[in-house]
Amino acid sequence: MSTAGVSLRAARKSRQLTQAQLAQLAGVDQARVSRSEGDDEVPRFDTVDRLLAGSGHRLYAAPTRRDDAATAAWRIRGSLERGDRHDALRHLIQLNDDLLAESGLVRGVLAVTTPERTGRKVWDAAIAALVSWRLQEERIPLPDWVADGARALQHARVLQVDPADPVPGDADVPESFRRHGVLVWRDTFASV
């Protein structure tokens, strides 16, 4: 379940707006944007709606208790900043589980918000690949951010968590991951 701050920040960044620019478009002060995007304050509904509208987005609700791709990316980024690739992988696997736990429209809703960058291209590509894989299973249209060339690698790389892990062969990598240039074992996402 995405927090308002994560959704607001992702919406603003997807339009490449600064907080000051969004404040001007939404008719609020920049401090309001900053507080609304932060984790310390839960903004009012009308503030969220106004800020999303200022960035060209709308607020929709879906009946789920699952986290979306934007929240997973935010958590992965935090794990990577702490140097904890195992924790980052746990968040990617949780996104997989969250997507699989939903079906149809609700699964698609979990992928609508453009995630912030994690700071690592291979992880950004892995998030896009995972969303592509799980949405295509249900023939759900992919959001534009999934096909963004910046979320794919030109040369395939292993999603390295442990340097001792062997490199998977092509048959062991899900097709959507191969298309995004990320080599990861299909079994990584198998239910246990």
85 and 37 within one domain = no
Extract the runs of DSSP E, i.e. beta strands, from the chain: 157-158, 182-183
- Supply the CATH number for residue 45's domain: 1.10.260.40
- Averaged over 173-177, what is the pLDDT? 97
29 and 73 within one domain = no
**Cβ neighbours of 119 (radius 10 Å):** 11
Q: What is the pLDDT of residues 24-67, one digit of tens each?
A: 888 888 888 898 888 777 888 788 888 888 888 777 666 788 99
Under a CB-based contact definition with an 8 Å cutoff, are residues 51 and 26 in contact? yes
Residue 63 located in a structural domain? no
178, pLDDT greater than 50: yes
124, pLDDT greater than 90: yes
Q: What is the pLDDT of residues 12-28, one digit of tens each?
A: 887 888 889 988 888 88
Task: Give the domain range for residue 36.
Answer: 4-54
- Give the number of domains in the chain: 2
1, pLDDT greater than 60: no
Under a CB-based contact definition with an 8 Å cutoff, are residues 88 and 80 in contact? yes
Residue 60 located in a structural domain? no
